Homo-oligomer: A and B are copies of this chain.
Amino acid sequence: MIFAYLWRKITIMTIKERIEALRSILNQQGVKAFIIPSTDPHMSEYVAPHWEARQWISGFTGSAGTVVITETEAGLWTDSRYFLQAAEQLQGTGIELYKEKLTETPTIAEFLKARLSSGDAVGIDGQVFSLATAKNLKKELSCKGILLRSIADPFSSIWENRPPIPQNPVFILPLQYAGESCQDKVARIREKMQADGIDLCMITALDEIAWVLNLRGNDVHCNPVFISYLLIAPQEVKLYIDERKLTSEVKDYLAGCQVKVAAYHSFIGDVAQNTEGKKVMADPACLNYAIYCGMGEESQLEEQKTYVAAMKAIRNQTEINNLHHVMIKDGVAMVKFLKWLDKEADLYHETEMSVDSQLRAFRSAQADYIGESFDTIAGYGAHGAIVHYEATPETDAPLAPKGFLLLDSGAQYLDGTTDITRTIPLGPLTQEEKEDYTLILKGHIDLAMAVFPERTRGSQLDILARLPIWKRRMNYLHGTGHGVGAFLNVHEGPHSVRMEENPITIEAGMVVTDEPGIYKAGSHGTRTENILLVVPAGEGMFGNYLQFETVTLCPIDKRPIIKELLSKEEINWLNNYHTKVYDLLSPQLDYEERYWLANATSAL
């Protein structure tokens, strides 16, 4: 206890010193405030340690959040997933927590407008701001005459022992996994470029580059991507990357694909030269502001999602076959784990972290296992209410035979990426826990059962997962569903299922998660997540219809279910799902596991 206290005190001191060091640079640069986002020059959701400046300056370790430092104040904006974690981690640092999406919370622009005067400048490092974000911010601040100024990365001079930009080797994803060659993908992109009169396609999102080239890397924790940029012109494809990352095999492969290689840092200069007078396409959400500012003055930027985002989201048949195969492997690992937790583990000797390593052991025994697709969220009891909780040695909670363990985990296999959440009862539950569990399951099933016409958007479907809890005046502030990469990032777009409008329509071949949840601070959390594949549902009035096929294969615990809260249709769905889970997984299991699974998947 005393150690933790001292450690905490040291952290707080360090953070205050770091903020002061930054303030003196801001003062030299003549900016009154500085904004530090969570991203990298590629607008990645998860970033290499080199770009974890927001964490370095604030001590907040969540994946999403933005710090603002003014001459006298410091604030962190983050979303509901991190409200509890951020409050804990910011204690004593002097950094105020601003809870996003609550009516009383000012936006960062509102916060700045209330504090700065006309003529004042707000600083950003243009490399880690998307064009879209920087433009919006600039516009909002300009109402009050406040300027937005991109300055050089201030952390390069104050961050001691800053981790370097990663240099891990890149490897080839064989065609048996990718399903379409790099040449064919480039040809499809060029066809679209020609149709739209685009001279140059700038691809800056790391997962888009990996997808186009059928290459993978290991530069970002849990994300098999590599730091690079890609330029596609009608006659040339050029990859900007630290050449030390390329083995001779990869170099030969790239040469065979007619992809030239250039230095990573030469991208910004090349863009300045090559865009002059050209019609250039880039995604303003992934293009960083510094590159934009360096573009040729006579260039014409088409700001839209690159073709790649849409192409990548629609799985080809090879990827779909692999997805089903991966789901069997991941399901087998999950069943072995759940049976172990239910029958073999001595809960009094297990913790959140110990069960996570047990699960990892089961997964790593599966063929073509690469690693986790994100840091497991193993939240026991009240920790289950911390939406993106990650157990650390300081917080790691011992389990006990009661209440819920919320377990959100996933793996990277060569043939695909998984993401699954189960809420596991470890023993007796309260009535409230059972109700919450059942209502969330009800919403999960209602979305999974949806049938909808082509051209439907995720924002139209979202309510199906939420309505059962809205009727009890509850909600969750995260999205209901996100795309999942094919051995790529666990979160991918361009589609989504969420309350906010997203004009991208849901199309056959897309995958999307279905993960409603309820989180009650200090008490418990419950979430049930499967991955759904969008499949045709036949022709009908005014066109074709689509539906979801649940591809995740793992029993949903029946013990917490209050049967009366489910409709006959919902119960049928669950029983059919469980039959499918048993049929597909049992051939891979031993007798005892099969016996356990038969019981876990018996009709409700």
Contact = CB atoms under 8 A, between A and B. Distances in A.
A356 B567 CA distance: 41
Contact of A475 (B102, B539, B542): B542
Interface string A447-472: 00011110011011111100100111
29 contacts: A80-B542, A102-B542, A102-B543, A103-B543, A450-B467, A451-B467, A451-B471, A452-B463, A453-B470, A457-B501, A459-B459, A459-B501, A460-B463, A460-B499, A461-B463, A463-B464, A464-B467, A470-B545, A472-B540, A473-B538, A473-B539, A473-B540, A473-B545, A474-B541, A475-B540, A475-B541, A475-B542, A501-B501, A501-B503
Contacts of A538: 473
A462 B471 CA distance: 16
A540 B80 CA distance: 16
A464 B460 CA distance: 9
B103 A473 contact: no
A477 interface: yes
A433 to B, nearest CB: 16
Interface in A81-138: 102-103
Interface residues of A, number: 35
A461 B499 CA distance: 10
Interface string A352-363: 000000000000
Contacts of A503: 501
Nearest to A469: B541
A537 interface: yes
Interface string A525-549: 0000000000001111111010000
Contacts of A464: 463, 467
A591 to B, nearest CB: 40
Interface in A295-351: none
Contacts of A471: 451
B103 A477 contact: no
A540 B469 CA distance: 10
Nearest to A454: B103
Given A459-B459, A542-B102, A453 B475 contact: yes
B477 A542 contact: yes
A460 B462 contact: yes
Contacts of A102: 542-543
Contacts of A542: 80, 102, 475, 477
Contacts of A537: 473
A63 B459 CA distance: 30
Nearest to A80: B542
A315 to B, nearest CB: 23
Interface in A543-577: 543, 545, 567
What 5 A-B pairs come out closest when comparing CB atoms?
Answer: A473-B540, A474-B541, A451-B471, A501-B501, A473-B545
